[in-house]
Structure 1
Amino acid sequence: MSILRVDSSIQGDNSASSALGDLVLTELTTAHPDAPVVRRHLGRDPLPAEAWASAVVGGATAETDRTDAQHQALALAQQLAEELQQATTAVLALPLYNFGVSQHVKSWIDLALAGAPQGARLLEGTPTALVVTRGGAYGAGTPREGWDHSTDYLRRILVDLWGADLTLIEREFTLVGINPALDEFAELAAMMRKSAEEAAIETGAALAARRAA
């Protein structure tokens, strides 16, 4: 059994979502230094774009008739599904891109679904921290209220389909200090960052306590 850590940022060392995920994971690994951590960075090492179609078609094809590409895609899909099923705790850092999940995250989800029996609850009861970061503001009363098509989608997959015991950590205005048009929101952004960091640490400690129990 293991801790599953998944990232999807394309920002490298400047990633706000990965920084929050690190805070969660540090609490976990400090409390449980011997716990194995399975890492998958979808932004740095994206899954093959053609793998999902090959896995779906291969799954509907007799094993003896499958192509090499279909065999490889199904093996990858099954590996992703197993990583989810075998995790006793999950830390997922999945930022908002273009108002939704990135292509990397969608490929990961689609492949994991293809690699498991239909209806399989891949995270059934698994304590899961989901970090979502957004460059701007999408809350009630903002000009882009309702434009976040990522968070609810992830809830549908992680909770409704896969059965995760989910804790959501959110940070907005991550582009403040980068985009000059957002400079007026510097104080608010700093408060949001501090709140998100505190939530990440608290969540990590809570997940660590649950593993101990």
Structure 2
Amino acid sequence: MATLLHIDSSVFPADASSSRAVTDAFRRTWREQHPQGTVIHRDLATNPVPHITAHAHTAGFSDPATHSPEQAAAFAQRLTLIEELERADAVLIGAPMYNLTIPSTLKAWLDNVVLMGRTAGNAQSVKGTPVTVVASRGGAYGPGTPREGYEYVQNYLSAVLADFLGADLDFIVPELTMAPVNPEMTDLVPLFEASRERALDEATTKAKRLAQRLAA
């Protein structure tokens, strides 16, 4: 049966997180379509993976037979995450924008799973894997907006996930998520609500479509 790897990185719980609300909607629909399937959920906020170290980094570019005990231990942790990604039939990532980019915990996960010669580069062991990213953001950063030039979440993740790893990448983008709590954005609350509903609808639709695609 199909396996979904679900990565969350918001520091907020589901009832206060736009990205978690949308990833939860996606995952619920996925489970409905795959009742016998497997969902692996990594919550990087509550259980962060190790940030890349010199031992973990250098081990990725050297023969395992030459690894020091420190390199071997660090690389074993990376392999756990890499193999988990490689076994997934689809990947779901919650990636809220914090200070214009992704949370450091998500960056740490990416640094662990991006390995030249295996997941990245000429090999691309996860090439073609469907990856859906929920890229929530407090303001509006889309084409034509004043802050378009500050959009570093989709641009960065497109480079890493699509270009480096060869994933089949798709985005769901709930925006203006700060409107309900920022008095200066009160007039934008209706636009936030519309964006949120659109994102939840997309999560349901895309989860169903992906489930049908993998079952074909």
TM-score, L = length of structure 1: 0.91
Distance 2:111 2:42 in 1: 15
Whether 2:7 is the aligned partner of 1:6: answer yes
Aligned to 2:112: 111
Distance 1:122 1:43 in 2: 27
Distance 1:210 1:145 in 2: 33
Distance 2:13 2:55 in 1: 29
Distance 1:198 1:60 in 2: 43
Aligned residues: 212
Whether 2:212 is the aligned partner of 1:203: answer no
Residues 1:197 and 1:70: Cα distance change in structure 2 (over 3 Å) = same
Residues 1:57 and 1:181: Cα distance change in structure 2 (over 3 Å) = same
Q: Partner of 2:190: helix, strand, or coil?
A: helix
1:124 is aligned, of 124, 127, 149, to: 127
Q: Deviations over 1:154-208 (max 9, x none)?
A: 0111111212122211110111111222111111111111111111111111111
Contact residue 46 and residue 104 of structure 1 kept, 8 A? yes
Whether 2:153 is the aligned partner of 1:188: answer no
Distance 1:145 1:171 in 2: 15
Q: Which moved more, 1:115-124 or 1:172-181?
A: 115-124
Aligned to 1:15: 17
Runs of at least 5 residues in structure 2 that lack an aligned partner in the other structure: none
Opposite residue 110 of structure 1, the aligned amino acid is D
TM-score, L = length of structure 2: 0.89
Alignment root-mean-square deviation, CA? 1.9
Aligned to 1:98: 99
Aligned to 1:147: 150
Residues 1:65 and 1:198: Cα distance change in structure 2 (over 3 Å) = same
1:28 is aligned, of 27, 30, 48, to: 30
Contact residue 59 and residue 74 of structure 1 kept, 8 A? yes
Contact residue 141 and residue 151 of structure 2 kept, 8 A? yes
Q: Deviations over 1:77-105 (max 9, x none)?
A: 11111111111111111111111122111
Whether 2:60 is the aligned partner of 1:55: answer no
Distance 2:94 2:36 in 1: 22
Q: Partner of 2:189: helix, strand, or coil?
A: helix
Distance 1:107 1:115 in 2: 16
